[in-house]
Amino acid sequence: MIVGAGPAGLTAAIALGQRGIETLVIERRRRPSQLPRATAISTSTMELMRSWGLEAEVREGDLGVELQPWVSETLAAAGAGRAADAGFPTREQSALISPTSPAAVPQDHLEPVLERRLRALGPGRIVRGVEVTEIENGRDGVTLTVRDTESAGQRRVRARYVIGADGIRGTVRGALGIPASLRERLGGRLAVLFRAPLWDLLRDCRYAIYWLTGPTRPSFFVPAGLPDRWVFATDWDFERERVADSTSSEVTGWIREAAGEPGLEPKVQRVAPVAYGVDLAARFRDGSVFLIGDAAHRVTPRGATGLNTAIRDGYDLGWKLAWVLRGWAGEGLLHTYETERRPVAEHNAARSADPNGSERNGTSARRSQRTSVAVSPIFG
């Protein structure tokens, strides 16, 4: 059983299903998220999608941008700006080492692609509107008490193994009593999801994030969906500022100033504060229960490693569980999951917490602290 139908859980389910393992994915949400969330997909992740025959379908949602930040005074002045290094290779660089390349694909496009792939595999099933309330972790399997989120009806489900892929606010890690060995709050942003014809201002200057030096409030834009869905983000003080105090005209004014277009009429769809921090579980396994993705480790959006780390967690654990269950390997193989994945999570958490981590070519600390937020600082 897999708890959570985000990219990590779906990837694990596909890896198991491809090897004939019966898998049940339960998800608290009754329908897929309509928020873009993360957008940066690495070369390695695209190689995995390609191996599954999903590259073309994933790229249908590709924003067609370089996965680099672009620094300029405003969007209207982007032609006078410059690219910065955030650790992702360009498409030309990727072509030297891989048959594919990174992509900028909103998570609400990626998740349905993965879900359709899982549903096409016979052994994989998804049940939505179900949440875990209790876990009994035995030596030979796990018994879960699950509840329907509408009817509140409960039932018990038995599984040989359970994968917790239900995120930082999920129930699996809490039910197991696994503490966070590293927890740090690093501030937050106000994120505004909206639609506006910003590509008309940018023309051929197409990048994954725009760091803007001109506005009064530190600001940046992230393309978040085709044809013209965007996220505007600005610094936010959780202790002194409230979303309710920010009028729609004020938010529109911030967007216009940062865009450098006084007549812009953005169609705002969502405004929400987003807290950033790092969080690392004390362990990624408890008996027959494993943690992957944000349930095991949370990073800030800086460097755009969260989505890709989660997907690689799911794939690594998925094929290993399948090999053990099919009798192709002994139980010892499962010990290698945390041995291999924890160093990656620790590195990415530390890098994402470093304000100088996403620009490595000598940009001043002041600019990095102000703007190096990530390639995808979108709603959690």
Q: How far apart are the first and last CA of the chain?
A: 24
List residues bridging with 267 in a β-sheet.
Answer: 195
Domain assignment of residue 197, yes or no? no
Domain assignment of residue 295, yes or no? yes
Domain assignment of residue 33, yes or no? yes
When pLDDT is averaged across residues 20-36 and rounded to a whole number, the result is 93
Assess whether pLDDT exceeds 60 at residue 177. yes
Confidence at residue 75, expressed as pLDDT on a 0 to 100 scale: 97
Instruction: Count up the domains in the chain and report the number.
Output: 1
Domain assignment of residue 237, yes or no? no
Tell me, what CATH number does 143's domain have?
3.50.50.60
Residues whose CB falls within 8 Å of the CB of residue 146, separated by 6 or more in sequence, listed in order? 26, 130, 131, 132, 133, 154, 155, 156, 157
* pTM, full prediction: 0.91
Domain assignment of residue 255, yes or no? no
Assess whether pLDDT exceeds 70 at residue 359. no
Q: By residue range, what is the domain housing residue 309? A: 2-65+103-182+278-353
Domain assignment of residue 250, yes or no? no
> Of 219, 205, 23, which is closest to residue 121 (Cα–Cα)?
23
- Asked if 371 and 220 count as a contact pair (C-beta separation under 8 A), the reply is yes
Amino acid at 109: H
Report the SS3 class of residue 12.
helix
> Of 67, 43, 65, 66, which is closest to residue 55 (Cα–Cα)?
43
Assess whether pLDDT exceeds 50 at residue 369. no
Confidence at residue 357, expressed as pLDDT on a 0 to 100 scale: 58
pLDDT digits 0-9 by tens, 269-328: 999 988 888 899 999 999 999 999 999 999 888 778 899 999 999 999 999 999 999 999
Distance CA 254, CA 187 (A): 20
Tell me which of 79-88, 123-132, 209-218, 256-265 is least confident: 79-88
- Asked if 101 and 59 count as a contact pair (C-beta separation under 8 A), the reply is no
Residues whose CB falls within 8 Å of the CB of residue 181, separated by 6 or more in sequence, listed in order? 280, 281, 282
Domain assignment of residue 367, yes or no? no
The DSSP H or E segment spanning 17 is helix 7-17
Domain assignment of residue 234, yes or no? no
Confidence at residue 366, expressed as pLDDT on a 0 to 100 scale: 31
